[in-house]
C-alpha cells in the first residue's frame, strides 16, 4: 500500500505536522463540531415526530393511515437524497476542509426547515404543496447526508488516540439529544395545545425553532478550527478525493461500511423514530404515554453511548459492534411482539430501553470505525457515501415498510426483516479488521 493510500508520508512524520492539542482545545473542537450535529438531527426528527399532525394537510385522504404513509414516503425521499449529499459534501470536505463542509450543511438544513414551516397545505395551493414538501425534504436529506460524513470525520480526527472512541461517541450523543429536544417540544405542544390546533398550525412551531437554531450554529461553525489531519494531508500534497479513488483503492472498506450500517440504521429508526407510532398504533398506548416512553428510553441511550465508546477504547471497536448486532438480532422479534400485545407503560419502557441500550454498542463507535478505515484524503467521502446509501435503503424505508406490513396484516414480518438484516451486519463485523489497532488516523 502506498504512502498516498495510507495517508502517511515517509519524509515528514505526522507528529511533526500535528502539534499536540490541549484538553481544552480538544473539548472546544468536540463541542463545536457536535453542536451543529444536534441541530441537524433535531430538524430531521421533528418531521417524523410531527408527521401525524400535518400529514392530512399535504396528503388528504379519508384513511389516516394512508395520509401517514404518504408523509412517511416523503420522509423516505429525504433519505434517498442523503447519498447525494454524502457524495457531494464528502468530496467537498476532503477538498475544501471539514469546517467548510459542516458550515454549508447546517445552512442547507436551515433553509429546508424554513420552507416546511411556512409551506401552505394542499387545500391552499393544491398539488404544489406535496411537491414543495418533497423538495424541502430533499434539501434536508442533502444536508444530513453531508453532515454525517463531515461531522464523523471531524470529531474522530480531533479526538485523541487514547480516547477516540469516547469522544467520537458524542456525534450520536448530540444526535440523540436532537431527537430528545424534538420529543420534548412534541410533548410540550401536546399538553399546551389542543389536537385541533396542533393539526391546524401548531405543528409549524418546531420547524421555526429548528431554523433559528441552525442560524446560531452556522455562526459557531464558521469560527471552528480545521482538523490537523486535513491540513497535513493538504500540506503533503496527497491526491485529491475522487469517487473512483474510493471504490478502486478501498472497495473492501466501502462495502463493509455499507453492510454493517444497514443493520445499525434499520434498527435505530425502528427503535426510535418509529417507536412512538408503533406504541400508539399497535400497542394501544395514548399519544402522551408513547411519547414519554420513547423519550425516557432515549435518556438511557444517551447515557450508554459514551459508556460503550469508552469500552471500545479498551476492548476494541469490533467487540462493541458484535455485541450490538448480535444482541439486537436476538431481541428484536420477542421485544417488538411483546410491545405489540399492549404491555403496561413500565414494561414498555423497560423493553424499549433494553433495545436502545444494546444498540448503543453500534452507534457509539459507528463514526470512529468508519473514519479509522480510510486515509485523510478520502476519509470524509469514505465515511459518508456508503453510510448514506445504506441509511437511505434500510433506515429511510423502515417506517414505510413497517406501516405497509401492518396494513397488509403481517406486522410481525417486519420484525423478522429487522433481525435478518442485523444478522447480516454481524457477519460482516466479525470479518472486519480491528480499526482501533490499525487506525489510519495518524494524528493524535
**Nine-digit cell string for 16:** 511533526
- Furthest C-alpha separation in the chain: 70
The owner of cell 409549524 is 204
The grid coordinates listed for 212 are: 433559528
For 36-71, letters b (16+ CB in 10 Å) and e give bbbbbbbbbbbbbbbbbbbbbbbbeeeeeeebbbbb
What distance in Å separates the CA atoms of residue 159 and residue 167, rounded to the nearest whole number? 6
Contact (CB, 8 A) for 12 and 442: no
Q: Is 316 left (phi over 0), alpha (psi -120 to 50) or beta?
A: left
Q: Helix 398-407 vs helix 412-430: angle between axes, to the nearest 10 degrees?
A: 150
User: Quick one: angle between helices 23-58 and 170-192, nearest 10?
Assistant: 40
C-alpha cell at 183: 420529543
Q: What is the mean pLDDT of each run of 10 residues along the chain (444 residues)?
A: 39 44 69 78 81 81 65 69 84 84 85 90 85 85 82 81 82 84 87 90 92 84 77 75 80 92 94 88 84 89 93 92 96 94 88 96 90 86 88 86 89 95 95 81 70
Query: What gap in Å lies between CA 343 and CA 323, rounded to an integer?
Result: 27
Q: CA–CA separation, 261 vs 255, rounded Å?
A: 10
Nearest by Cα to 270 from 437, 402, 147, 375: 402
Q: What is the pLDDT of residue 48?
A: 77
The per-residue pLDDT for 4 is: 39
d(CA 426, CA 434): 14
Q: Which residues contact 22 (CB under 8 A, 6 or more apart)?
A: none
Distance from C-alpha of 246 to C-alpha of 250, rounded to nearest angstrom:
5
**HEC profile of the chain:** CCHHHHCCCCCCCHHHHCCCCCHHHHHHHHHHHHHHHHHHHHHHHHHHHHHHHHHHHHCCCCCHHHHHHHHHHHHHHHHHHHHHHHHHHHHHHHHHCHHHHHHHHHHHHHHHHHHHHHCCCHHHHCCHHHHHHHHHHHHHHHHHHHHHHHHHHHHHHHCCCCCHHHHHCHHHHHHHHHHHHHHHHHHHHHHHCCHHHHHHCHHHHHHHHHHHHHHHHHHHHCCCCCCHHHHHHHHCCCCCCCHHHHHHHCHHHHHHHHHHHHHHHHHHHHHCCCHHHHHHHCCCCCHHHHHHHHHHHHHHHHHHHHHHHHHHHHHCHHHHHHHHHHHHHHHHHHHHHHHHCCCCHHHHHHHHHHHHHHHHHHHCCHHHHHHHCCCHHHHHHHHHHHHHHHHHHHHCCHHHHHHHHHHCCCCHHHHHHHHHHHHHHHHHHHCCCCCCCCCCCCCC
> Can you tell me the distance from the alpha carbon of 249 to that of 440, in angstroms, rounded to the nearest whole number?
14
Please compute Rg for the chain using Cα positions.
21
Can you give the pLDDT at residue 5? 38
Q: How far does the chain reach from its first CA to its final CA, in angstroms?
A: 22
Among 43, 144, 153, which residue's Cα sits nearest to residue 96?
153
Phi, psi (deg, nearest 5) at residue 186: -60, -50
Beta-carbon count within 10 A of 212 CB: 14
Tell me the domains of the chain and their CATH numbers.
23-430 (1.20.1250.20)
What's the grid cell of residue 220?
459557531
Cell of 176: 440523540
353: cell is 430501553
- Report d(CA 172, CA 75) in Å as an integer: 20
What is the structure's pLDDT at 233?
A: 76
Residue with cell 478502486: 248
Amino acid at each position: 500500500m502506498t504512502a498516498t493510500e495510507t495517508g502517511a508520508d515517509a519524509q515528514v512524520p505526522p507528529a511533526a505536522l500535528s502539534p499536540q492539542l490541549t484538553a481544552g482545545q480538544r473539548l472546544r473542537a468536540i463541542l463545536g463540531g457536535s453542536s451543529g450535529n444536534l441541530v441537524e438531527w433535531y430538524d430531521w426528527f421533528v418531521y417524523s415526530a410531527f408527521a401525524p399532525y400535518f400529514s392530512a394537510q399535504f396528503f388528504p385522504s379519508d384513511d389516516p393511515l394512508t395520509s401517514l404513509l404518504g408523509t412517511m414516503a416523503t420522509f423516505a425521499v429525504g433519505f434517498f437524497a442523503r447519498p447525494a449529499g454524502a457524495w457531494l459534501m464528502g468530496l467537498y470536505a476532503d477538498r475544501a476542509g471539514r469546517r467548510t463542509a459542516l458550515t454549508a450543511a447546517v445552512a442547507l438544513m436551515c433553509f429546508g426547515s424554513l420552507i416546511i414551516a411556512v409551506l401552505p397545505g394542499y387545500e391552499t395551493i393544491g398539488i404544489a404543496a406535496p411537491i414543495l414538501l418533497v423538495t424541502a425534504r430533499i434539501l434536508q436529506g442533502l444536508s444530513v447526508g453531508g453532515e454525517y460524513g463531515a461531522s464523523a470525520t471531524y470529531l474522530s480526527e480531533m479526538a485523541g488516540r487514547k480516547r477516540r472512541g469516547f469522544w467520537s461517541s458524542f456525534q450520536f450523543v448530540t444526535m440523540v439529544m436532537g431527537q430528545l429536544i424534538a420529543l420534548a417540544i412534541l410533548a410540550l405542544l401536546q399538553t399546551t395545545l389542543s389536537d385541533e390546533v396542533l393539526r391546524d398550525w401548531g405543528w409549524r412551531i418546531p420547524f421555526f425553532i429548528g431554523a433559528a437554531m441552525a442560524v446560531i450554529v452556522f455562526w459557531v461553525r464558521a469560527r471552528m478550527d480545521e482538523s490537523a489531519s486535513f491540513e497535513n494531508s493538504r500540506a503533503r500534497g496527497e491526491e485529491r478525493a475522487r469517487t473512483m479513488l474510493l471504490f478502486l483503492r478501498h472497495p473492501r472498506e466501502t462495502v463493509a461500511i455499507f453492510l454493517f450500517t444497514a443493520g445499525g440504521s434499520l434498527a435505530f429508526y425502528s427503535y426510535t423514530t418509529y417507536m412512538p407510532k408503533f406504541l400508539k398504533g399497535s400497542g394501544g398506548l395514548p399519544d402522551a404515554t408513547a411519547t414519554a416512553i420513547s423519550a425516557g428510553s432515549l435518556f438511557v441511550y444517551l447515557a450508554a453511548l459514551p459508556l460503550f465508546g469508552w469500552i471500545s477504547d479498551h476492548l476494541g471497536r469490533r467487540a462493541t459492534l458484535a455485541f450490538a448486532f448480535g444482541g439486537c438480532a436476538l431481541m428484536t422479534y420477542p421485544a417488538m411482539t411483546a410491545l405489540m400485545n399492549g404491555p403496561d407503560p413500565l414494561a414498555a419502557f423497560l423493553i424499549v430501553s433494553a433495545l436502545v441500550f444494546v444498540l448503543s454498542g453500534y452507534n457509539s463507535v459507528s463514526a470512529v470505525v468508519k473514519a479509522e478505515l480510510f486515509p485523510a484524503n478520502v476519509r470524509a467521502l469514505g465515511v459518508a457515501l456508503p453510510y448514506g446509501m445504506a441509511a437511505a435503503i434500510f433506515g429511510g424505508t423502515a417506517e414505510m415498510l413497517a406501516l405497509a406490513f401492518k396494513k397488509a396484516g403481517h406486522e410481525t414480518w417486519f420484525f423478522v426483516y429487522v433481525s435478518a438484516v442485523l444478522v447480516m451486519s454481524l457477519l460482516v463485523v466479525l470479518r472486519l479488521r480491528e480499526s482501533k489497532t490499525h487506525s489510519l488516523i495518524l494524528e493524535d
